[in-house]
Amino acid sequence: MDCFELALFAFLVGLTTCGLAGSAMELVWGRKIAFAEPYVSSSRLVRSLAATACAGPYMLANDALDARREGRISTLALLSCGCTALVWLLALGRVLLAAAAWATTG
């Protein structure tokens, strides 16, 4: 596989995982996903870390869009959050692919 194709595949794996995890969490708790209760809590640290690792880009995008609508951040800050979410999706996909490869060869 070409390097570009591998990166694109990792991005799509991250995007799919993030979307599925975020949508499932919204269905379970019945609230919009964000970096707030019940998704992120200091009393349930492991659950919060897992939720943020899997659905973090979705949370970041939701919070950034809400902040932009309310005028709390600029357009440049919104673009920065979008770029961060894209890189996060790529990293998430790469980690998941590495874990899958390790699980099938180990």
Domain presence at residue 106: no
Domain that holds residue 67: 13-95
Average pLDDT of the residues of the chain: 93
Domain presence at residue 7: no
Please report, as a single letter, which amino acid is at residue 76.
Answer: L
> Tell me: the pLDDT tens digits for 57-77?
999 999 999 999 999 999 999
Q: What is the pTM of this model?
A: 0.89
Domain presence at residue 83: yes
Q: Provide the pLDDT for residue 69.
A: 96
**For the chain, how big is the Rg over CA atoms in Å?**
15
Domain presence at residue 56: yes
* Count of structural domains, the chain: 1
**Residues 87, 57 contacting (CB under 8 angstroms):** no
